[in-house]
Chain A
Amino acid sequence: MAWFSRLIYRSGPPPEDRHRMRAVANSLILHLHPPRVAAGALRFPRTWGLGGISALLTMVLVVSGVLLMFRYDASVERAYSSVQALETVVPFGSLLRAIHHWAGNLLVITAVLHLVRVFAAGGFRAERRMNWLIGLGLLLLVLVFNFTGYLLPWDQLAFWAITVGTGLLTYMPLLGQPISDFLLGGPEVAQPALRNFYALHVALLPVILIFGLSYHFWRVRKDGGVTLPAESTPAPRLTTIPHLVHIELGVALITLTGLFIFAMLVPAPLEDLANPAHPPNPAKAAWYFLGVQELLLHMHPLAALLLTLIGGLGLALLPLWDRDTADEGIYFRSPTGRLAGAIGALWGLLFTPLLVLVDEYWLDLPTLLVLLPTLVSNGLLPLLLTLAGLAAIYAGLRSGLRARHSEALVGLLSFVGVALLVLTAVGIWLRGENMALIWPW
């Protein structure tokens, strides 16, 4: 067995079995981690473990997804019954589905929180620019993952969410229609769409995700690990084993337990078989797209899409927009930054619901400005007003608080983030029949 040990150990195997096992495990761990990490990076509030939790959820998703593939059948005729079978005759099938479902939804949340954490710590500047972009790509990937997976049970929820979702896509000028056609393989959600979504969900996306994640992790190491505040004395460095590994193991076990118990208590939803003739009312997209769907209720599709695009572009270009590395690693830059963030969040919390109400009940721009084409009165005008509002917030923070550029940006982005959150919440809970505002109780 000498050749075998040579595959594993660089210089002769350790004499005892116990030590051999250790050596294998350790070299696996050290493959992913540096041998030593800065003590500051190990403090939990440095990362809140969010990247790690996202990575764990990704693994849970891969494992549970592969298991689901053994019983799932991606044909319009059988998809729904195979899911029904999973729920009723396959032992632990229901639990498996619930784990996959909730892990997928949770990943959207943890990935976004991770983004917020990285933004707050200013970990997107200088050499970390590239990894910020990769991270954004990963978030997009996670969303596409969720979107493609949503269709697979082929129930009413799936069918109509995808119908609405691809409908949103077609508002995109030029590219929207071809992308939607490509995804659906035809004019509507039918067998070709199910086949395409399945192929994307179980074959193409996982491959991209694995490569993307590997690069992301490697980059974290290359860029000098987690962003830390500059310190006068050289920070002490601790060995990865056991210090980091113990934390990782603990967080992983707690997350797994929480996820599994939640999945045991709340099964994944399954509605009636998809019925193209009976749209539910209201027909909503998946919850993480409801913010955008809510925007569509307030402005011309082109404007809503443009706004979303500007938001995405803003995030992507953030490393160029804010290059001030002086406050690196300090959450929200400085006391002023923290104040700006709080003000931005508060404004978002107050302003967005107010605007939603005003637009719903009092303001009707197209009838007010009959002379203008709706593209202007309901599109260009609200878009420009929104952008002007954002600029005003930024300017207000700059002059009012005497905030530096990077501090004012914290306020601006926290306003945008909270506004998106509020819009999403309105879309989830406060929209009823015909997408009219309702009070859920």
Chain B
Amino acid sequence: MRYPLIAGFTALLVLITALSIYTAREEQRMQTAQADLRQVAITDASAVYVQYCATCHGATGEGLGATPPLDNDGVRGMDYDTLFKTIARGRYGTAMTGWHVDEGGLLTTYQIDQLVALLRYGEWPQVRELAAQQGMIPVSLAAPEVANEQIAAISALGPEGSIWANGLNLYAQNCTTCHGATGEGSSLAVALNTPELRSQDAATITRTISEGVPGTMMAAWNKALQPEEISALAEFLLHWDQVEAAGVALSLPTIEQIDLGDAEAVLALGERLFTTTCTTCHGENGSGGIGPAINSQQFLSRKDDAAIEQAIIQGGKRPNSSMPAFGERLTSVEITALVRYIRSLQATAPSVANPRGTQQGGGGPPWLRDRQP
């Protein structure tokens, strides 16, 4: 009866060998597993970002209006705790509200962890790709197209024309988000298309662009652009008035106009806008989320069109509301379409127990909701 014992101890020997090999590779395996997990987190977070954050921070983290950009080294350098707290609890007194479910938001700890991974190890091209697929790029990506005829028209202006054309192109790609399509400036940056700027000499402007203005959002561009490109930009800025006189102007991409008389088309536009921009907070089909259940008899019977339009243009009434002000971002046509679409829901809207959104308190437990027991 020795045979089983011998077989057993042979197996034991094999086991010990296998375990030693496994042990030797464990550290390496864990490293790889962690890297893989990080990659998964970034991919997952991209979807969450596009769904919830892009409305304010821009489809590629570039920042919209007064909302800060996230695709920058400042944010990448923040530690985990700061970023987690910012996203989970929000910033008091700003439109950045708490996104954690415990704060009335929509995101779990796990999702916020993933967002932190995205912000720190970010892969914004991936986010942009995803946003593009969801039709969000034209709304938020403010890089105007420069047409070939425009290039030709500028080049025809004189011997330096092709340099100016190059400068205009670079400006369109890099500077319009802050300085505006026509150089009129924005809440983020000063106007550039001004006689005062043109009174400076080329060397000064070139220095400002390459070194930036410390302490402001004006970055040092010498890391991103070649010296020739920066001097082309400076030349363009100095001769913007001439370019304009030639009839060349940049315009931000606009959503195609539709005929307001065509009720069907208006409703379709409204529906498309609603599902791409509003359902993230107001729930699928407007069934409620952070924001109130728009698609409910309770909500629709209490709000007239004017109140809805007001809310869309000016954002949430409560201080610290996460309802963004869409007034600057959507055209009046789009806002009208949204209002009409929302009103059209009234015919089929269900009655719900509690139309209030989670950030409005959610209405409390069932036994505390009604005035009369």
Contacts and interface: CB of A to CB of B under 8 A. Distances in A.
Interface in A391-406: none
B110 A81 contact: yes
A78 B112 CA distance: 13
Given A243-B1, A249-B5, A254-B8, A260 B109 contact: no
B15 A249 contact: no
Interface stretch (B29-37, B73-81, B193-201, B299-307): B29-37
A261 B2 contact: no
Given A88-B34, A88-B37, A91-B30, A261 B1 contact: no
B126 interface: no
A132 interface: no
Contact of B18 (A80, A242, A260): A260
Nearest to A244: B1
Interface residues of B, number: 28
B110 A80 contact: yes
Which secondary structure characterizes the binding site on chain B?
helix
A246 B5 contact: yes
Contact of B22 (A77, A88, A95, A273): A95
A328 B200 CA distance: 108
Contacts of B109: 77-78, 81
Contacts of B8: 249-254
A95 B110 CA distance: 24
A89 B30 contact: yes
A257 B4 contact: no
Interface string B102-114: 0000001110010
B145 interface: no
Contact of B30 (A80, A88, A243): A88
B249 interface: no
B96 to A, nearest CB: 22
B134 to A, nearest CB: 16
A257 B110 contact: no
Contacts of A247: 1, 4
Contacts of B152: none
A89 B34 contact: yes
Nearest to A252: B8
Interface string B1-33: 111111111011011001100100011011001
A87 interface: yes
Contact of B33 (A77, A81, A88): A88
Contacts of B37: 84, 87-88
A261 B15 contact: yes
Interface in A123-147: none
A215 interface: no
A48 interface: no
Contact of A92 (B1, B12, B26): B26
A246 B15 contact: no
A89 B37 CA distance: 11
Interface of B: 1-9, 11-12, 14-15, 18-19, 22, 26-27, 29-30, 33-34, 37, 44, 108-110, 113
18 contacts: A77-B109, A77-B110, A81-B110, A88-B34, A89-B30, A91-B26, A91-B30, A94-B29, A246-B4, A249-B5, A251-B8, A253-B15, A256-B11, A257-B14, A258-B11, A260-B15, A261-B15, A272-B44
Interface of A: 42, 77-78, 80-81, 84, 87-89, 91-92, 94-95, 242-243, 246-247, 249-254, 256-258, 260-261, 264, 272-273
Pairs of residues from A and B, 9 with the lowest C-beta to C-beta distance, nearest first: A250-B4, A250-B8, A253-B8, A257-B11, A257-B15, A88-B33, A254-B11, A246-B5, A247-B4
